[in-house]
């Protein structure tokens, strides 16, 4: 067996052993087709207050600038799907990815184990691991390697199991056999576009400045009052476009113990969230992605989202 074939097989087997549901491989090269799309998205201000998205433009497009000597991008999907939601229908909602321990920690540990395993089986392998932590166009690389296609809501959709996945990468100097992309299966469906309460989605593009996840997590200023009443109880993040996607009927529940909901989370009522103290927040969500928003912002979100909707001017005004 040729070394490149043997090494590729080792990579795929290692990914499966570590619990990654899917693994795809791409040649490390410049993403030429993505350059104008990214440039237009930034030029039109669709990144909202996420100014960091405009940084390192060239590195986002060429992994060889991010990892000198890179030959291969290994793309990985790690399932976080949990069909459970809050028991109280009027309770605030948080994105499923934030139910348990911070995925940056959990998945990064697996990636380092992955790299160590490759070195023990193959020999000297140089590279870096990434999980939503650097200027890497994760969805573009995952699509290029055949793990799915980028849907109209701009999430990666896998034909076998939907979109409830964390994306991660190893960018390494080891040449491997590349996989190829798959076709787009969104067809004429517009459910994600139709369901978005803030009209943030147009086909294959999201206006980050209108996205509920941006408002509740990224935005440092106060959420505009004329927008917050549209959030449908989403306190941290938003899953609406994934919940309505037909491909997620194939989603399977995750098997990662560290992603299980923190104790009592889904039993918390609206009143429990309203009376949440900073001390309880710190203890309950110590390892949670909710730490990114922090207690003051979370409480501010709550007060705005659950305040009465602004009065609309009457025709006689």
Three-class SS of 34-95 = HHHHHHHHHHCCCCCCCHHHHCCHHHHHCHHHHCCCCCEEEEEEEECCCCCCCCCCCCCEEC
Instruction: Match 């020999």 to its residue by tokens.
Output: 123
316 half-sphere exposure, CB direction, 13 A CA radius:
0
pLDDT band at 56 (very low <50, low <70, confident <90, very high): low
Question: Residue 36 — pLDDT band, cuts 50, 70, 90?
Answer: confident
* pLDDT at residue 26 greater than cutoff 80: yes
Give the tens place of pLDDT for each residue, 233-278.
999 999 999 999 999 999 999 999 999 999 999 999 999 999 999 9
pLDDT tens for each residue of 175-195: 999 999 999 999 999 999 999
The band of 160, judged by pLDDT with boundaries at 50, 70 and 90, is very high
Return the pLDDT at 315: 54
Q: State the average pLDDT over residues 37-59.
A: 70
In the prediction, which pLDDT does 54 show?
Answer: 63
Buried b (16+ CB within 10 A) or exposed e, 199-216: ebbeeebbbbbbbbbbbb
Rg of the chain (C-alpha set): 21
Burial of 69 (0-12, 13-18, 19+ CB in 10 A): exposed
Confidence class for position 52, pLDDT limits 50, 70, 90: low
Q: What are the structure tokens assigned to 257, written together?
A: 């113990």
Would the pLDDT of 313 be above 90? no
Say whether pLDDT at 53 is over 80. Answer: no
Name which of 206, 152, 156, 155 is nearest 181 in CA terms. 156
Whether 55 has a pLDDT exceeding 70, the answer reads no
Query: Which of 62, 90, 116, 132 is an active site residue?
Result: 132
Q: What is the C-alpha to C-alpha distance for residues 76 and 19, in angstroms, rounded to an integer?
A: 10
Give the range among 35-44, 135-144, 158-167, 301-310 with minimum mean pLDDT: 35-44
Asked whether the predicted pLDDT for residue 218 surpasses 70, the reply is yes
Mean pLDDT of 30-34: 87
Q: How confident is the model at residue 133 (pLDDT cuts 50, 70, 90)?
A: confident
For residue 48, the model assigns a pLDDT of 65
Distance of alpha carbon 27 from alpha carbon 32, whole angstroms: 13
Catalytic (active site) residue 132: yes
* pLDDT given for residue 287 in this prediction: 93
What pLDDT, on the 0 to 100 scale, is given for residue 57?
Answer: 75
DSSP assignment letter at 231? S
Q: Which two tokens stand for residue 71?
A: 């030959």
Report d(CA 183, CA 238) in Å as an integer.
Answer: 27
Residue 241 Cα to chain centre, angstroms = 13
Largest CA distance in the chain: 81
Q: Where are the domains of the chain?
A: 3-86+96-172, 191-305
pTM, to two decimals: 0.92
Q: What is the pLDDT of residue 9?
A: 98
């Amino acid at each position: 067996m040729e070394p490149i074939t043997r090494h590729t097989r080792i990579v795929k087997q290692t990914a499966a052993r570590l619990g990654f549901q899917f693994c795809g491989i791409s040649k490390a090269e410049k993403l030429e087709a993505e350059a104008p799309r990214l440039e237009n998205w930034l030029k039109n201000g669709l990144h909202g207050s996420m100014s960091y998205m405009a940084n390192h433009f060239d590195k986002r497009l060429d992994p060889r600038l991010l990892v000198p000597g890179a030959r291969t991008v290994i793309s990985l999907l790690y399932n976080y799907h949990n069909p459970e939601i809050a028991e109280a229908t009027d309770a605030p909602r948080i994105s499923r990815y934030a139910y348990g321990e911070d995925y940056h920690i959990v998945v990064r540990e697996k990636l380092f184990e992955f790299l160590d395993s490759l070195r023990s089986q193959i020999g000297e392998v140089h590279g870096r691991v990434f999980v939503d932590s650097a200027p890497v166009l994760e969805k573009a690389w995952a699509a290029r390697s055949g793990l799915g296609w980028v849907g109209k809501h701009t999430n990666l959709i896998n034909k076998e199991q939907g979109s409830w996945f964390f994306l991660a990468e190893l960018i390494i100097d080891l040449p491997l056999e590349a996989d190829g992309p798959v076709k787009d299966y969104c067809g004429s469906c517009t459910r994600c576009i139709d369901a978005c309460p803030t009209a943030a989605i147009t086909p294959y593009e999201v206006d980050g400045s209108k996205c509920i996840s941006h408002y509740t997590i990224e935005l440092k200023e106060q959420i505009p009052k004329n927008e917050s009443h549209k959030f449908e109880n989403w306190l941290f993040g938003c899953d609406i476009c994934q919940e309505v996607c037909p491909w997620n009927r194939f989603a399977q529940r995750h098997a990662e113990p560290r992603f299980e909901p923190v104790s009592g989370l889904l039993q918390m009522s609206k009143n429990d969230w309203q009376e949440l103290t900073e001390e309880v927040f710190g203890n309950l969500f110590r390892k949670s992605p909710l730490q990114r928003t922090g207690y003051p912002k979370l409480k501010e979100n709550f007060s705005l989202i659950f305040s009465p909707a602004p009065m609309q001017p009457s025709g006689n005004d």
